[in-house]
């Protein structure tokens, strides 16, 4: 059974859609509702949500902004967007962020239920099909021989081998229809643990697993990124991401955050559907095809940090101090621990100073530390035992409890003071955290005083 979150700043719409879904006969677990993007993010951080249904135009945080932040929390979560406006720009941005559908208000109940049913059905099929997936891929693998010559040209281009980038680009375009037009590029490298898979004992099985992983890359990246995915030597798959001038300068999701989300989503899906671990290395973004060898080297170096962090799987080149350490092995365990502690301490100080700020996000805290949200989340959890947002909620709840017990402030004043948009949402979080409502705590203190 799947859990849904419905987000709309009109409570009647949330209530109506929730009632419609709960009486639809669709196999749904829990249905959560939120009336703003910030409420929705709290729910996503605290509950297990599989499908997000969100309005696109809301008050302080739009549906697009919510999708961007939600992707940082759960990159693999599915989304349906609803809107009162049939605006191409909104629809285009929503689809680029992975929305499975874009529905126009007023919603047709039958169409809405069909849409939800379709998304959940696809999720259910994928969950149940690991063995059938491999069977289908074996059949496809026999019919579709990989483009070995094209992949060889692409790998030569990344290594900087002769005959030079212009000649290689011409061959790729004219012979294989593969266009590298950029001018902005980044690389993702996937290192597959083929030998560790139960089916990875023979070369034929390893090749099939690699083919399956490449197909997952194609499926996940097709609509979200202008890319070329191909085999690289050893157990690696390379993804060349490219953006035109217009695409690169478009407003929307931060490009590096977007690559991080895709890297995490690739790792999650390869692990889930192939039962195989992989490590993802992500390069910086540079302008010019001549930088492809440098980007290739960056992504390869990023992969190596898995040796220092074997319980983490997605690494961005820019998160590490390469000027001080050319290779991960050059940094001692003590130096690594000190560096990690410094990053986490700085993040804790920033959170302690800004936890009451409405709209505080993981991206903002990471930006202040000059690291990716993904890496900061990993280090914070490893160092403190809390995930980053649990720490924010802890500080908010402790302060709100202090104010409830020690002052005459009203609920709405305390809600405002600790960073919540509405007293109702504050009460919901408080009760989930402490097991009693703010009013119950206040009344209990009053009785004790008497």
Per-residue pLDDT of 350-385, as tens digits, reads 999 999 998 898 889 999 999 999 999 999 999 999
**CA–CA dist 424, 431 (Å, integer):** 11
Place of tokens 């000649």: 167
209: pLDDT strictly greater than 70: yes
Q: Which residue among 327, 354, 378 closes a domain?
A: 327
Do the strands 227-232 and 184-192 form a parallel or antiparallel pair, or are they unpaired?
Answer: unpaired
Residue 220 and residue 149 share a domain: yes
The pLDDT assigned to 409 comes to 94
| 81 close to 99: Cβ distance less than 8 angstroms | yes
**CA–CA dist 1, 380 (Å, integer):** 31
Instruction: Return the closest-CA partner of residue 129 out of 45, 188, 215, 62.
Output: 215
Taking the CA atoms of 221, 225, 229 and 235 in sequence, report the sign of the dihedral they define: negative
**CA–CA dist 367, 51 (Å, integer):** 28
Residue 213 and residue 87 share a domain: no
pLDDT tier at 204 (50, 70, 90 boundaries)?
A: confident
**CA–CA dist 295, 10 (Å, integer):** 46
pLDDT, tens only, 417-437: 999 989 999 999 999 999 999
Residue 115 and residue 37 share a domain: yes
Residue 371 and residue 290 share a domain: no
The pLDDT assigned to 218 comes to 92
* Prediction pTM value: 0.85
Upper half-sphere CA count for residue 288 (Cβ side, 13 Å): 4
Residue 366 and residue 251 share a domain: no
The pLDDT assigned to 171 comes to 92
**CA–CA dist 266, 236 (Å, integer):** 13
Range 299-323 average pLDDT: 93
Residue 416 and residue 293 share a domain: no
Range 230-248 average pLDDT: 95
pLDDT tier at 197 (50, 70, 90 boundaries)?
A: confident
CATH code of the domain in which 218 resides: 3.30.70.270
The pLDDT assigned to 143 comes to 46
The pLDDT assigned to 62 comes to 87
Q: Which residue among 127, 148, 181 closes a domain?
A: 127
CATH code of the domain in which 73 resides: 3.40.50.2300
The pLDDT assigned to 97 comes to 79
The pLDDT assigned to 252 comes to 65
pLDDT tier at 142 (50, 70, 90 boundaries)?
A: very low
The pLDDT assigned to 245 comes to 94
**Taking all residues of the chain, what is their mean pLDDT, rounded to a whole number?**
89
Identify the domain containing residue 349 by its residue range. 332-450
Q: Which residue among 127, 156, 184 closes a domain?
A: 127
137: pLDDT strictly greater than 70: no
Give rounded-to-5 percent helix, strand, coil for the chain. Answer: 60, 15, 30
318: pLDDT strictly greater than 50: yes
Residue 288 and residue 181 share a domain: yes
Q: How many domains does the chain have?
A: 3
Residue 118 and residue 22 share a domain: yes
| 393 close to 430: Cβ distance less than 8 angstroms | no
Residue 400 and residue 436 share a domain: yes
CATH code of the domain in which 379 resides: 1.10.10.60
Residue 410 and residue 303 share a domain: no
The pLDDT assigned to 127 comes to 59
Residue 371 and residue 227 share a domain: no
- Percent of the chain scored above 90 by pLDDT? 67
pLDDT, tens only, 58-86: 877 888 889 988 988 888 899 999 988 77
144: pLDDT strictly greater than 70: no
Residue 29 and residue 61 share a domain: yes
């Amino acid at each position: 059974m799947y859990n849904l979150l419905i987000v709309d700043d009109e409570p009647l719409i949330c209530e109506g859609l929730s009632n419609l879904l709960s009486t639809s006969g669709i196999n749904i677990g829990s249905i959560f509702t939120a009336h703003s993007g910030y409420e929705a993010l709290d729910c996503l951080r605290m509950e297990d949500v599989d499908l997000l249904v969100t309005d696109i135009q809301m008050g302080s945080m739009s549906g697009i902004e919510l999708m961007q932040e939600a992707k940082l929390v759960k990159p693999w979560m599915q989304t349906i967007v609803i809107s009162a406006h049939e605006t191409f720009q909104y629809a285009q941005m929503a689809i680029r962020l992975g929305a499975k559908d874009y529905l126009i208000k007023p919603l047709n109940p039958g169409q809405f239920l069909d849409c939800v049913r379709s998304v959940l059905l696809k999720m259910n099929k994928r969950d149940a099909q690991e063995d059938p997936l491999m069977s289908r891929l074996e059949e496809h693998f026999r019919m579709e021989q990989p483009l070995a010559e094209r992949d060889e040209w692409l790998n030569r281009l990344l290594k900087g081998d002769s005959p030079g980038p212009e000649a290689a680009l011409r061959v790729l375009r004219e012979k294989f229809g593969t266009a590298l037009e950029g001018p902005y590029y980044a690389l993702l490298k996937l290192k597959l643990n083929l030998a560790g898979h139960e089916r990875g004992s023979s070369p034929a099985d390893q090749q099939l697993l690699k083919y399956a992983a490449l197909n997952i890359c194609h499926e996940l990246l097709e609509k979200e990124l202008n890319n070329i995915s191909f085999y690289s030597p050893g157990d690696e798959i390379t993804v060349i991401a490219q953006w035109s001038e217009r695409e690169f300068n478009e407003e929307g999701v931060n490009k590096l955050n977007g690559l991080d989300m895709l890297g995490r989503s690739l790792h999650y899906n390869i692990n889930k559907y192939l039962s195989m671990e992989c490590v993802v290395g992500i390069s910086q973004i540079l302008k010019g095809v001549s930088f492809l060898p440098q980007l290739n080297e960056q992504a390869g170096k990023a992969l190596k940090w898995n040796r220092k962090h074997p319980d983490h799987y997605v690494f961005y080149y820019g998160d590490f101090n390469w000027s001080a350490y050319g290779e991960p092995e050059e940094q001692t365990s003590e130096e690594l621990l000190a560096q990690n502690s410094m990053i986490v301490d700085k993040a804790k100080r920033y959170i302690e100073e800004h936890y009451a700020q409405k709209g505080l996000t993981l991206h903002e805290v990471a930006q202040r530390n000059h690291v990716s949200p993904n890496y900061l989340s990993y280090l914070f959890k490893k160092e403190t035992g809390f995930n980053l947002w649990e720490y924010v909620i802890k500080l908010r709840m402790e302060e709100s409890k202090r104010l409830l017990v020690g002052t005459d402030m009203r609920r709405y004043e305390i809600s405002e003071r600790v960073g919540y948009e509405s007293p109702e949402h504050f009460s919901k979080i408080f009760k989930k955290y402490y097991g009693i409502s703010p009013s119950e705590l206040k009344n209990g203190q009053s009785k004790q005083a008497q």
